[in-house]
Chains A and B, each alone.
Chain A
Amino acid sequence: MSYLPGWVALLVGLALLVTGCSRPLATATATANAAAHSLKATQEALAERYREDQLAAAGRVQGDRSDPSVKAEQRDRVRAVRVKYRPLWDAYAIAYEAWLEAVVAIQIAEQIDGADSGLEMVGVIEAVRQLVRSQRRLVTMFAEVQTDGSQ
């Protein structure tokens, strides 16, 4: 699964929302769904890379795998990988929270009659804007990690 289709749809959704469109709530829903797909695809790719890097770090330790000192060395190497990825997972957590806030804002707007032209849409648009910002940061950071690993 690639994050790109969802990411593009997310950007277009925001463009339509901020410039005005005939069915803003439906557009916001499609945009939040695109964000969910983009975020899930990023999550899967990131988790796989994170897993592979940890396994590679543990695998580089020489010696008997049942030896406690070898296990301790493996844990140290794995810990270093986790520290390296921590900023990325923090960025993921922020993007996830932004998606949750967008979902809640849309749910609130859906429960109010005439939400398509109401103040609730201001909250929805701001939530989607935060969603784009947080996902852009996450995607940029992940791309940097991928570039580092391929060099």
Chain B
Amino acid sequence: MDPSSVMFVLEELAKFAAGYSGRAVEVAERFREDFAAKHPELIEPGDSEAPTPRPDVTVDAEIDALIDRGEA
């Protein structure tokens, strides 16, 4: 096991510990179990719950259209 990996993870968990009264790991475990129970199948591109590749392009097109129509 790469020691830097362990340090990296511990560092991240320590950051969250400050916000969860020292029970970060328990809280985080519960989140992970919750996700695993709700989403047992791998979410893939195109699924409704998947992120999209270029959301900024959609916003830009909407704003450009509003300016063109004089509605911005």
- With A and B bound together, what is the CA distance between A82 and B62 in angstroms? 13
- With A and B bound together, what is the CA distance between A7 and B12 in angstroms? 10
When distances are taken between beta carbons in the complex, the residues of chain A under 8 Å from B58 are 47
CB of A40 within 8 A of CB of B32, answer no
Enumerate B5-45 residues with CB–CB distance to A below 8 Å: 5-6, 9, 12-13, 16, 24-25, 27-29, 31-32, 34-36, 39-45
Q: List 17 A-B contacts (CB under 8 A).
A: A5-B34, A6-B35, A12-B25, A12-B32, A15-B9, A18-B1, A18-B6, A19-B1, A29-B41, A30-B39, A33-B35, A36-B49, A65-B70, A71-B70, A78-B63, A85-B56, A92-B55
**Sorted from nearest, which 7 A-B pairs have the closest CB atoms?**
A65-B70, A30-B36, A58-B72, A33-B39, A12-B28, A39-B51, A9-B31
- Which B residues are closer than 8 A to A by beta carbons? 1-2, 5-6, 9, 12-13, 16, 24-25, 27-29, 31-32, 34-36, 39-45, 49-56, 58-60, 62-64, 66-68, 70-72
